[in-house]
Amino acid sequence: MEKRHGLKRLTLLLLVTVLMTALAACSNGNSGTSNGSATTPAETNQPSDGNSTAAPVETEAPKPVEVEVFKVGSGATLPEEDFVKDEILKATNVNMNLSLPANKDDMKNQLNTRVAAANFPDVMELPDKSMFEQYEDSNLLLDLTPYLDQLSNAIAFVGENNVKKGTIDGKVYAIVKEPNPTASNFWVRKDWLDHLKLEVPTTAEQLLQTAIAFREDDPDGNGKKDTYGVSGIGGAGVVGNFQGIFSAFGSTGAWNTFSIENNQLINGLYDSRTKDALEFVKKFFDAGVVDPDLLVNKNYDRIYQGFSGIVFTDWSQMAKDDKITAMKSANPNAEWVQLGALKGPDGTQFAGNNDIGRTSGYVTLPKSLEKNPEKLEAVLKLINYIGSDEGLRLVQFGIEDRHYTLDGDKVVATELMGKEAGYVWPYQIIGRPELTYLKVKFAKQGAEIDTGINQPRIEIYNSFISIPEGFSGVDADKFAQEEVTKFVYGKRPLGEYDDFLKTLDETFKNHMLVDAAEAQLKELGYLK
């Protein structure tokens, strides 16, 4: 009898269990939502009256993927309340962390140290071709060719030509950023010209005479001989600070620069016009009109403070609001005017050089990402988002309807763009459409930007050329610039220029670079 009652209880228990399982299965089968939200019905053992609904329970959102981007920061600082980082996180579920070494040398040193320790950033923006080729040759870079579909926005933005620049042996190893347009020109103190009743110089000779007047004739009217003609920054060297003079003579400068004329390869150091230009530049130094600290200046402060009245630089150093404020605080009457390309003695008229193969950086991924598919997918998603219309506008201008509005396709800046979105440029990891960007961000400077960018320049091909094995470009360049400096400062007679070239070839094997350049430019089709 007890066995029979026990069997009944067991049967009843099994029946209840089966019914509960069936009810749960039915409930689960009807719980899908059309919007794909991640919810599941709450389990219940209460009897249904046909009208009850399951209470949704939210599942945990996927954790953001941490992605480190390593690039030159040029002194950039990011705010604690970083709306760009927040918006990228919302759009991609990627927490983008920027590591920003101060300059190119710091970047190279830090990255090489990390690579040696196998501590790779997730994205590496390599600053030049030599470093890009070195890393690829060392098998450190991920071949992006299989992932181009996942980078479609970024690839479409940078364009086919820049994809080619990131290709080695038929494989894409970098997304190459479009370079900033070349915009350097000579700038002159217009208020000093007016005070001395001088015309705006248009030739190399007129610029020399203006520089002499700025030194000798008290252009600021303070009764003291405390002004100079020409100043600049030490990092540009003699050639960089007088680049507009060299180009007025038709020379690309006393550098290893490569141009092509009538299908002939011309190296700036060996160009006969370079020696002529050096003789003319030396006149500035002989006349004592050059800032004595030219080669040690780390910035343009002496220009802003009214120490000198001529400089070769671009609009960003002379026309931005903060630069004008610095000038006006030192002298409320300070007014600078940008010159066009100067004419040389034979009518040649160029404003420096333009390297047509130049880039702003090589965006690469470490090969080690192959071992972390989840991280790799996040990195590709991040880059492709920043290459989209939405992402590009974010990293250039900020948040729509706060920092800018859209008038059709035209971006119109609000007052808040200048106040809140000035820091955003480090997030432009695949570059930006430069002219569009500048015209929006610096609308007041539009005329100066156009003047700077639209000058005639000598085309050079340096960025297409790989340094040949066995040639030390650093040593050769160091020697060349030291000797050029001696020539213009009168420490070595210009009559020894040919001897200088002989030493450059025999001791530093500079001919190796020239030969390599010719072979490579023929292979690329620029020389026949």
Helices (H), ranges, 217-271: 237-241, 243-248
Lowest mean pLDDT among 56-60, 88-92, 167-171, 308-312: 56-60
User: Which amino acid is it at 108?
Assistant: K
Examine the pLDDT at 31 and tell me if it is beyond 50: no
Q: Domain containing 508 — which CATH number?
A: 3.40.190.10
DSSP string, 436-456: HHHHHHTGGGHHHHHHHHTS-
Q: Are residues 123 and 242 in the same domain?
A: no
Handedness of CA 189, 294, 74, 151 (dihedral sign): positive
Same domain, 273 and 147: no
Task: Give CA–CA dist 326/304, Å, rounded.
Answer: 6
Instruction: Tell me, yes or no, whether 174 and 215 share the same domain.
Output: no
Residue 45 lies in a domain: no
Q: What would the pLDDT profile of 9-23 be if each residue is shown by its tens digit?
A: 433 333 334 334 433
* Rounded CA separation 509/220 (Å): 49
More confident call, 43 vs 123: 123
In a domain, 38, yes or no: no
In a domain, residue 346? The reply is yes
pLDDT at 38: 35
Residues spanned by the domain of 215: 185-351+457-523
The residue type found at 150 is Q
Mean local confidence (pLDDT), 163-174: 93
213 and 323 fall within a common domain: yes
What number is the average pLDDT over the span 63-86?
95
Question: Chain-centre distance of CA 244, in angstroms?
Answer: 23
Query: How large is the average pLDDT for residues 431-440?
Result: 89
* Cα of 257 vs its chain's centroid, Å: 21
Residues 511, 371, single domain; the answer is no
Instruction: Please name every residue paired with 176 in a beta bridge, in sequence order, or none if there are none.
Output: 362
Round to whole Å and give the CA distance between 494 and 447. Answer: 40
- Tell whether the model's pLDDT for residue 72 goes beyond 80: yes
pLDDT in tens, 101-149: 998 889 999 999 999 999 999 999 999 898 999 999 999 999 999 999 9
Whether residue 199 lies inside any domain: the answer is yes
What local confidence, expressed as pLDDT, does residue 44 receive? 36
For residue 52, tell me if it sits in a domain. Answer: no
Total domains in the fold of the chain? 2
For residue 250, is it left (φ>0), alpha (ψ between -120 and 50) or beta?
A: left
Nearest to 76 by CA among 395, 499, 449: 395
| Residue 71 and residue 158 share a domain | yes
Q: Is residue 123 part of a domain?
A: yes
Run of H or E including 266:
strand 264-267
E strands, 315-398, are 336-338, 353-355, 362-364
List C-alpha distances in Å: 322 to 220, 304, 418: 22, 11, 12
If asked whether residues 76 and 225 sit together in one domain, one would say no
Same domain, yes or no, for 373 and 340?
no
Quick one: 319 and 383 in the same domain? no
Percent of the chain at pLDDT above 70?
89
For residues 359 and 264, is the Cβ–Cβ distance under 8 A? no
pLDDT at 2 over 60: no
Radius of gyration of the chain (CA): 32
Q: What is the mean pLDDT of residues 373-382?
A: 98
- Angle, alpha carbons 70-314-175 (nearest 5°): 30
* pLDDT tens for each residue of 178-223: 888 899 999 999 999 999 999 999 999 999 999 999 999 999 999 9
| Distance from the first to the final alpha carbon of the chain | 109
Instruction: Please check whether residues 73 and 170 belong to one and the same domain.
Output: yes
- Residues pairing with 172 in the sheet: 167
Looking at the fold, whether 333 and 387 belong to one and the same domain comes out as no
Distance CA 379, CA 367 (A): 13
Angle, nearest 10°, between helix axes 473-488 and 272-286? 50
Predicted structure pTM score = 0.77
Confidence of residue 74 (pLDDT cuts 50, 70, 90): confident
Residues 163 and 230 in one domain: no
**Both tokens of residue 111?**
């990255």
Res 37 pLDDT > 60: no
The DSSP call for residue 428 is -
User: Of 420, 448, 465, which residue constitutes the final position of a domain?
Assistant: 420
Confidence of residue 247 (pLDDT cuts 50, 70, 90): very high
pLDDT of residue 179: 83
CA-to-CA distance for 127 and 205, rounded, in angstroms? 37
Encoded tokens for 150: 């996942």
Q: 428 lies in a domain?
A: no
